[in-house]
Amino acid sequence: MGLGYKLTFVSLASVLAAVGAYFYQKKKKEILIIPWRWEEIGKLTRLNLYPLKSGHRIELSQAECTEFGLRQTKDDEEVFQLRDRCLVVYSESDNEFRTARTYPKMVLIDVSVHDDKYLAVDAPTMRTLYVKIPNSQDNKNTLVRLHKGEEIFAIDCGDEAASWFSRYILEKDNGLRLGFHDASRGRDITKTHKNILDYYINLSNYSTGLYSDLTAILLVNQASIRDLNKRINKSTVSVDNFRPNVIVDGPCLEPYAEDQWEWIKIGDVVLRNVKECTRCIMTTIDPENASRSSDREPLKTLETYRLSNGPSSLPTMGINCETRKSGLIKVGDPVYIPKSD
Ligand SMILES: *[C@@H]1O[C@H](CO)[C@@H](O)[C@H](O)[C@H]1NC(C)=O
Ligand SMILES: *[C@@H]1O[C@H](CO)[C@@H](O)[C@H](O)[C@H]1NC(C)=O
Ligand SMILES: *[C@@H]1O[C@H](CO)[C@@H](O)[C@H](O)[C@H]1NC(C)=O
Ligand SMILES: *[C@@H]1O[C@H](CO)[C@@H](O)[C@H](O)[C@H]1NC(C)=O
């Protein structure tokens, strides 16, 4: 009897210790100490928000930087504020997402806030589409499949939007639909992106944004684009081919310095670099006229000196960041990295 108690006590204690260790490990992973001493390395020179995945950008002078990425401020849009990559085009038949990789003309689609009830969508040769801002009570809720089969929550934007997008992109009456994310929930990339999470150890569910590829914010250093253009040597590529949200520049910035930045502070906002940004054929599509570059630039040149050692082995440009401290950022704000002693 006494021995039994003792054994029970011993095993209970070891179970408690194991549970404690487990939670400590988990906690240790989650406790992040944001640096407190910073040095200025440049300025925030541009802020771009892409309401539609693969669509055209909205250039902002200021934005809310949130867990889900950039969002328009009430100063810009009083009644409704668009978020970065809050809209996605998907196939009616299998709910798979569609992008400008397959349909380059998607880069010319503009989305804006029309009034308190409607978004306005424009594209060359098309009449303006007014999309009633969808909500999860009145519209059909669904799941859209993105990279690696990851399923992401979407609110369907209705039949009129579906036929407008099918007409513009496929030149057919149907086939595509438009999905909207209301930022009511996060994503789970743990099953679909296991090999990527194993390599980029600081990337997590928290990093992901709405319909962004894997993180809420893409930051590009303009000095890296200047260096790339020197190497391409004949044509010039715009930073917009890389579709960044945040562009940083400064007279003392070295090209590709951003690869080494673990933390970035802009105004009061703190971003954390969780992944290099691997680049695909999308970067060869001109963001202003949707034409594909005939010589595969800038990808061709990037492949000669910027190949990733990670799971994709694609070339890299820019850094994928998560928002660790939210707030308002403005073009012209100083950009800091942790001060090295
Ligand atoms: C990621 O999110 C999903 C769903 O919210 C959750 O079940 C899973 O445990 C999360 N994983 C991590 C590592 O946080
Ligand atoms: C991941 O984050 C930790 C803690 O901030 C940092 O020390 C480490 O360098 C990061 N690892 C990578 C690969 O970025
Ligand atoms: C760049 O252009 C110059 C002048 O046209 C040429 O001499 C040089 O070889 C070119 N460099 C590369 C890497 O193509
Ligand atoms: C698209 O724009 C690029 C860059 O300005 C230019 O080089 C190209 O010729 C244009 N293509 C068409 C079809 O207008």
Per-residue pLDDT at 72: 98
- In the predicted structure, residue 112 carries a pLDDT above the cut 70: yes
Is residue 291 pLDDT above 60, yes or no?
Answer: yes
* pLDDT in the model for residue 62: 98
- Give me the pLDDT at residue 21, please: 45
Q: Average pLDDT of 125-138?
A: 97
For range 146-170, the mean pLDDT = 98
The pLDDT mean for the chain works out to 92
Determine if ligand 2 sits within 6 Å of the CB of residue 204: no
At residue 91, does pLDDT exceed 80? yes
Cβ of 34 below 6 Å from ligand 2: no
Dihedral class, residue 158 (left if φ above 0, else alpha if ψ from -120 to 50, else beta): left
Residue 202 C-alpha to ligand 2 middle, in angstroms? Answer: 6
If pLDDT is split at 50, 70 and 90, which confidence band does 11 have? low
Structure tokens at 48: 């771009």
Secondary structure (3-state) at 69: strand
CATH 2.40.33.20 at 38-338, yes or no: yes
Distance CA 257, CA 266 (A): 16
Q: Where are the domains of the chain?
A: 38-338
| Interval between CA 228 and ligand 3 midpoint (Å) | 13
The percent of residues above 90 in pLDDT, for the chain, comes to 89
Tokens 């009616």 appear where? 92
Say if residue 25's pLDDT is above 90: no
Percent of the chain with pLDDT over 70: 91
Q: Rg of the Cα trace of the chain?
A: 22
Q: What is the mean pLDDT of residues 51-59?
A: 98
Tell me if 291 CB under 6 Å of ligand 4.
Answer: yes
